[in-house]
Amino acid sequence: MDPRKIFLIELHEIIKNSSEEIRNHLVSPSEDNIVWDEFKLSEEEVAALKKCKFDDVALSAIEKTVRDTILGAFHDAFSLLDAVTDPEVVELYDTWLGLTLSEPNEEEEENEGFLHDEVYDAYWDWSEQRNKDED
């Protein structure tokens, strides 16, 4: 199967699993449910979620909403990769040409950064850009 197709199929599984994880967080909220410290829930937020009594219909609606939103976010990210949209946060002085994702080959450097690592570090760059725009 085409690697791009495999990636996109796996992406839909990741989205589904993420929406189910959110369901579980709503059913059993905890400060420890969030992995990244920047998004940890406060005691007040956990208490507020515990007060909510989500039934199966509400949880299903939340899961569908989350899946649609995550899919839309990936669509927007891929549109940026494909250069059919331009960056909105970072000011460019040249034409945005997008990026390509490709299968690794033996000639590529072993120390090239991995996106799954860089995405967390980029949060701080994004935050800085947003704060600069708000000043």
Q: What is the DSSP letter of 41?
A: P
- State the pLDDT at residue 121: 83
Residue spans of the domains in the chain: they are: 3-102+111-134
Closest CA to 119 of 36, 41, 7, 18: 36
Query: Which parts of the chain register pLDDT below 50?
Result: none
pLDDT in tens, 87-125: 988 888 899 999 988 877 766 666 577 888 888 888 888
- State the pLDDT at residue 135: 66
Closest CA to 33 of 51, 49, 10: 49
- State the pLDDT at residue 78: 94
